[in-house]
Structure 1
Amino acid sequence: MELGFYILLSVRTPAGFDSYGQYFLGNDRNFADLLFDNFKGREPLSSDLLHIDLMETTDEIPVKIKSISCTLEELTCTIKLIVRGIFRQKNLTEFNGYGQATME
């Protein structure tokens, strides 16, 4: 069973919500939850225009885990958090091989 997590960005259109981007977060549920819990936004309302969803894929079947809506300004802050979190997850380790921490 293959498991993965990703962020799905959607915008309301006359035909309903249409996704326009996604960020793959990897297979670590804890990382995905912690990152999503830091996003700017609120519980979605039917009138909101921008949605951010935390999605889980198990054997290629997507399931929405959490969802928030946001303003354009909140989305900007959230995207910065996503990129920073993915960068840290992919590039930084606790120690750099010389006994010095690479991330505080």
Structure 2
Amino acid sequence: MATIEQCRAALEKLSDNMQGAEGDVRAAAALDRSVSCHVTDLDVTFAGRMTGGRIQVDETYPGAPRERARIRLAMAGDDLVSLVDGGLNFATAWGSGRIRLEASLLDLFQLRKLL
């Protein structure tokens, strides 16, 4: 099982990957939205903001998200690490329910470019 530190590192790596993106992916990464990632098996939430092409984690706290972020992710820690490392296909994991992504319809259309 992934640790909190490994999950935080995976989010940092995802943020770095978004920062270096180009074209449509860069445009999608440029959204300015609140974001939360609930790591279900650790029952911890990372909350922050996607802005300037990066994800900035401002808080880490136990339990489910305290506030409703504009972009909400939920998954197991191992899935987060595997997703960022390229070992897990987002579409397959989302379709099977291993990963939950909730956002407005317009944001989902933009985010699909990242995936």
Q: Same fold (TM over 0.5)?
A: no
TM-score bucket of the superposed structures, by smaller chain: under 0.3
Q: Normalised by the size of structure 2, how large is the TM-score? A: 0.26
Q: Which has the larger radius of gyration?
A: 1
Higher strand share: 1
Q: Normalised by the size of structure 1, how large is the TM-score? A: 0.28
Higher helix share: 2
